[in-house]
Amino acid sequence: MSEKATLKIDGKSFEFDVITGSENEKCIDIQKLRSETGYITMDPGLGNTGSCYSSITYVDGAKGILKYRGYPIEELAEKTVFTETAYLILYGELPTETQLQEFSYRIREQAPIHTNLEHHFSGFPQNAPPMAILSAMLNLVSCFHPEVLEVPTTGAEFDRTAALLMSKVRTIAAFAYRMASGKPINHPNPNLTYCGNFLHMMFSDPYHQYEVSPVIDKALNLFLILHADHEQNCSTSTVRVVGSSRANLFSSVAAGVCALWGPLHGGANAAVINMLGAIKASGRPLTYYLSRAKDKDDPFRLMGFGHRIYKNFDPRSLILKKQVHDVLQALNLEDGLLEIAMELEEATLQDDYFISRNLYPNVDFYSGILLRALGIPLNMYTVMFAIGRMPGWIANWQELHDHKLRISRPRQIFTGETERPFIPLSAR
Ligand code: CMC
């Protein structure tokens, strides 16, 4: 017999199905709640609301487990390159060598952007935030590829659209940086890897071809793999909400970019570096910042700490912390911010406020220090997150359509004025 949950309202009992996920997660199916009882549920921030079924990513926040399509993040980070993991997220299986080659070829083929798009970059002010440019340009790209405005109906259409988006996001990101720096753009080089090509478009100069160091290539692959998906986070949910109106994939991910931009989400990686820099420059003791973070009247929070789901540790943060040490050592670099970051982490581990609220470093805490070591400029950090998250956004958007989900349209409890007598303008 299937499991049921009983709800009692005014002495009357209502039964709802209990749904069990493949990792034994439980959920009460309340789809008929309103029609049967007249009630709705209230869950601001949607912390207890399942909005879809998904077979892409699994997170167990209590145990610090993250898996893409059943594969632990630790193994994918160590043993795959980004395109391999992206393929897994998009198609559900790890690629064979031939499949990976074909996938990489499709991405390579889509790397150039239409020349008529190039002059749009110079229309932005030089200090325009690259996340604004990225979001705008993703919508613009779709104008040059009208075929992507439809939901892909064949495998070949999906193959092309997914490769197009994964490739264009990388080109747009690099061009945005070149334009903002007043430097000539570098066209993509089809002989380079996904990460190598990005680094070339970012850092090559007319008289200096950027040499991709294997250490940097590996670290960038790892960064992108760790960011590739994270189930129903704010930006992915945004992509799904926008996509549920049947808006096209490009405008849906452009909205995802905007959601990611915020400092409580992807913008935290740059905010962490700003915070660590400010701590260093001020010379104040860490206790000053811990007190501020605990003070409810102070908007200051420890950036890179806390997570809606992880209540023990964020496995991505552990991988990144080790990677930061390895990369700094391999590149013979030192970073004073790393020392402050580790002292801060140590201090929070002794502090009851952080212990009792399960506030631990999240993915954004060490990722900025890694990006600094790779030479990525601060204003590009959240763009790097967006490049990494692209396969997750695409896969979630496609899954939404595969499951033929209804338009997202939450309810509310109205707390405003009820009926009011209208007063003409002359009498107000
Ligand atoms: N510093 C100080 N206090 C915090 C912090 C923090 N970073 N995060 C949460 N708290 C406190 C919060 O004030 C609340 O305290 P109380 O119970 O006394 O009112 C309690 O911890 C629970 O916090 P919440 O805001 O209800 O938790 P949430 O699940 O709504 O928010 C979060 C999660 C990640 C937005 C939040 O922890 C935060 O703002 N962290 C800093 C920003 C950050 O690092 N964001 C990156 C998130 S991970 C990657 C990503 O999504 O992009």
In a domain, 226, yes or no: yes
**Residues 39 and 103 occupy one common structural domain:** no
Active site residue 364: yes
CATH number of the CATH domain containing 188: 1.10.580.10
* Whether residue 95 is found in the same domain as residue 37: no
Ligand 1 centre from 266 Cα, in Å? Answer: 13
- Which residue has a Cα nearest atom 9 of ligand 1? 306
Indicate whether 84 belongs to any domain. Answer: yes
Tell me what the mean pLDDT of segment 37-46 comes to.
Answer: 97
Burial class of residue 292, CB neighbours in 10 A (0-12, 13-18, 19+): middle
The predicted model gives 92-117 an average pLDDT of 96
Look at residue 159 and tell me whether its pLDDT is greater than 90.
Answer: yes
For residue 1, what pLDDT is reported? 64
Q: What is the pLDDT of residue 152?
A: 85
pLDDT of residue 348: 96
- The model's pTM: 0.96
Per the annotation, the verdict on 307 as an active-site residue is yes
Q: Are residues 303 and 226 in the same domain?
A: yes
Q: What is the pLDDT of residue 390?
A: 98
- Please give the distance of CA 175 from its chain centroid, rounded to a whole number: 21
Q: Among residues 200, 227, 230, 307, which one is catalytic? A: 307
Predicted pLDDT of residue 24: 95
Residues 168 and 42 in one domain: no
One-letter amino acid of 393: W
Closest to 88 in 3D by CA, of 370, 79, 174 = 79
Same domain (yes/no): 60, 165:
no
Each residue of 45-59: pLDDT tens digit?
Answer: 999 999 999 999 999
Q: Is the pLDDT of residue 275 over 90?
A: yes
Domain total in the chain: 2
State whether 50 and 126 are in the same domain. Answer: no
25 plus 132 within the same structural domain: no
Q: Is residue 258 part of a domain?
A: yes
Residues 145 and 240: their CA atoms lie apart, in Å, by 21
**Cα-to-centroid distance, 302 and ligand 1 (Å):** 8
Q: Whole domain around residue 128: which residue ranges?
A: 77-406
Among 4-18, 140-154, 220-234, 313-327, the least confident range: 140-154
User: Quick one: 55 and 87 in the same domain?
Assistant: no
Taking residues 177-206, what's their average pLDDT?
94
Which domain CATH number covers 15? Answer: 2.20.28
**pLDDT at residue number 153:** 83
- Of the pLDDT bands very low, low, confident and very high (cuts 50, 70, 90), residue 148 is confident
